[in-house]
Chain A
Amino acid sequence: MKEFSYIIKDEIGIHARPAGLLAKEAKAFTSKITIEANGKSADVTRLMAVMGLGVKTGAEVVIKAEGDDEDAAIAKMQEFMSANL
């Protein structure tokens, strides 16, 4: 399993659109990718669940990937987070 933590810079937080795009990106991998925030965890491919975490700006999240393509998945997630959130 691979993971990284990230601090959200987007001023609204993880809002609908990036959450939707993030889900799309995550679906391209076979690994299970999760996001943890506020003591809760959600499957990244599940947009409503991710929004349900209510992640605000300045919050720290941990993204974990587990599976055959976990290295590539983590790299992609890192790239996406820093470009969009």
Chain B
Amino acid sequence: MERYEGKSIYNGIAIGKIWFYEKSEQQVKRVKIDNADEEIKRYEKAKEIAIAQLNQLYEKAVTDVGEANAMIFEVHAMMLEDADYNDSVYNIIQTENVNAEYAVATTGDNFSVMFAQMEDEYFKARSADVKDISERVIAALVGTDTDTGAMDEPVIVAAEDLAPSETVQMDKTKLLGFVTRLGSSNSHTAILARTMNIPALIGVDIDSSWNNKMAIIDGRKGLLYVEPDEVTLAAYKAEQKKDEEARELLKSLKGLPDETVDGKHIKLYANIGSVADVANVLANDAAGIGLFRSEFLYLEKTDYPTEEEQFTVYKTVAQNMAGRKVVIRTLDIGADKQVDYFNMDKEENPAMGYRAIRICLDRVDIFKTQLRALYRASAFGNISIMFPMIISVDEVKQIKRICEEIKTELSENGIAYGDVELGVMIETPAAVMISDELAKEVDFFSIGTNDLTQYTLAIDRQNAKLDNIYDSHHPAILKMIKMVIDNGHAEGKWVGICGELGADTSLTEKFIEMGIDELSVSPSYILPIRKIIREASSV
């Protein structure tokens, strides 16, 4: 078994034999000709054939991948009619008295270099388009077929590079996935792969000896296994089956509103722990992010993450979510999450110790760095901030004061920030009991059921001996949730659940009846919960 790394274009798994695809490289020779006019006519005729082919490809692509993605072929046809491109071909034929093939190849190279040298990734990627159209015209001149060729059985295609036209021409029922050495994630081929849900890796060190060998593409990790061993193969087959089941569910539920039969809308959001999870959030069609655990930024490092580092991460998430809500929870370390460089003392009872907001309000410099990064990022999307482990109104007032300071500083420096909702986690019995007062201070509540259960039942979740009495459906917890919802609503604030209980499908209906506004769950739970919401009634 060999393992290779590449950049993933689409997060799926493909298992099958490799077909090593080699382009029938057009070896263009420079040949002197006598009659330039005749040669230009040859070129015109070949161009017509190429445009006719592109129109056909456009039609096929409209059916296969939709109009928006088929546009590329319309654009290719337009490029072939571009005056500068054509002038260059005519010019080379006339002044050098050379064959049309050579004139097209040279023109194609020149324009493709022009695009390749541009700064912007989008324009850079157009270089491949120019090459693709030029090869098409040359093929028409030589009289060869540009067909990608028939694949007998479903295969993983390995190639140096794939042009969009090649990708679309491949029989989709036989194309399991592809790996290429070249290409960019902005290329049309990459976009098409994503639209067609084809697992694909680029930047893989491909080898022609792979032809006919068994392989696995793991689009999640960006890995390619050639000749996988049986254990790996079995594991990926199981994974693939799970994916298929999820896709089936997705197909029937994607795009549908999270609305009960009687029309109550529930905000169904996702919990994430890093930027990498955002793709999964979008793939599962979540309406937003209800809990972004910012700890990973601190846990991954050996020193405090800078404002700039944090800003980049928050901004990326906000931009990728394109206007959908992103609730980011401020640093929640301590207890079971320890970070060496914080140099914290050993505690007898860390769960009830120096953690989360308690650290932030004590070491305000760390807190302010994070808040500044959050407020700056809020100019790029719909960011809300949520504070963990709250036990008093005074804490919230302190937090709000610090937030105001940050905003003033930013304004004074002419730095933009957006409209940020501030909310608190309700995860201590104290916060539940004073939720009526807290509701006056904040924009929303999010109930963290894991800690709330542990603190309310006085049961350490890590202690396996207590498993038999640890009841997450304990009436005390359900009553508390109801109380928090009612107190939130009394002040016109929205209330959600972001703990594990939020994803407990046996309680979804009950929460809806209680009046919950938001549920934030792991991305993989979004669709199963959507299904229940759509079958439930809020009264």
Contacts and interface: CB of A to CB of B under 8 A. Distances in A.
A39 to B, nearest CB: 15
A45 B83 contact: yes
A58 B413 CA distance: 23
B84 A49 contact: yes
B296 interface: no
A47 interface: yes
A45 B81 CA distance: 10
A12 B83 CA distance: 24
Interface residues of A, number: 18
Interface in B289-303: none
Contacts, number: 50
A54 B118 contact: yes
Interface in B243-284: none
Contact of A48 (B72, B74, B82, B120): B82
Interface in A1-29: 12-13, 15-17, 20, 23-24
B123 A46 contact: no
B315 interface: no
Given A46-B84, A49-B84, A16 B75 contact: yes
B85 A48 contact: yes
A51 B123 contact: yes
A23 B78 contact: yes
B114 interface: yes
B74 A46 contact: no
Given A13-B122, A17-B74, A52 B114 contact: yes
A54 B123 contact: yes
A56 interface: yes
Contacts of B129: 16
Nearest to A42: B84
Contacts of A47: 78-79, 81-82
Which of A16, A17, A45, A56 has the most chain B CB atoms inside 10 A of its CB?
A: A16
A48 B84 contact: yes
A72 B115 CA distance: 33
A15 B130 CA distance: 14
Binding site secondary structure of chain A: helix
B539 interface: no
A16 B186 CA distance: 14
Contacts of A45: 83
B111 interface: yes
Binding site secondary structure of chain B: helix
B507 interface: no
Contacts of B119: 54
Given A54-B118, A54-B120, A20 B79 contact: yes
Contacts of B120: 13, 54, 56
A37 to B, nearest CB: 13
A20 B74 contact: yes
Contacts of B79: 16, 20, 47-48
B71 interface: yes
Contacts of B131: none
Contacts of A54: 118-120, 123
Contacts of B122: 12-13, 15
Contacts of A16: 72, 75, 78-79, 126, 129
Contacts of B84: 46, 48-49
Interface in B35-93: 71-72, 74-75, 78-79, 81-85
Contacts of B123: 13, 51, 54
A17 B75 contact: yes
B83 A20 contact: no
Given A45-B83, A46-B84, A56-B120, A51 B78 contact: no
Contact of B71 (A12, A17, A52): A17
B319 to A, nearest CB: 11
Given A15-B122, A54-B120, A46 B82 contact: yes
Contacts of A24: 78
Contacts of A48: 79, 82, 84-85, 111, 114, 130
A31 B119 CA distance: 32
Nearest to B80: A47
Contacts of B83: 43, 45-46
Nearest to B124: A54
Given A13-B120, A20-B79, A51 B126 contact: yes
26 contacts: A12-B122, A13-B120, A13-B122, A13-B123, A15-B122, A16-B72, A16-B75, A16-B78, A17-B71, A20-B74, A20-B75, A20-B78, A23-B78, A24-B78, A46-B82, A46-B84, A47-B78, A47-B82, A48-B84, A48-B85, A48-B114, A48-B130, A51-B115, A51-B123, A54-B120, A56-B120
Given A15-B122, A46-B83, 19 more contacts: A13-B123, A16-B78, A16-B79, A16-B126, A16-B129, A17-B74, A17-B78, A20-B78, A24-B78, A46-B82, A47-B78, A47-B79, A48-B85, A48-B114, A51-B126, A52-B115, A54-B118, A54-B120, A56-B120
Q: Which A-B residue pairs are the 8 nearest by beta carbons?
A: A20-B78, A16-B75, A47-B82, A48-B82, A54-B118, A46-B84, A46-B83, A54-B123
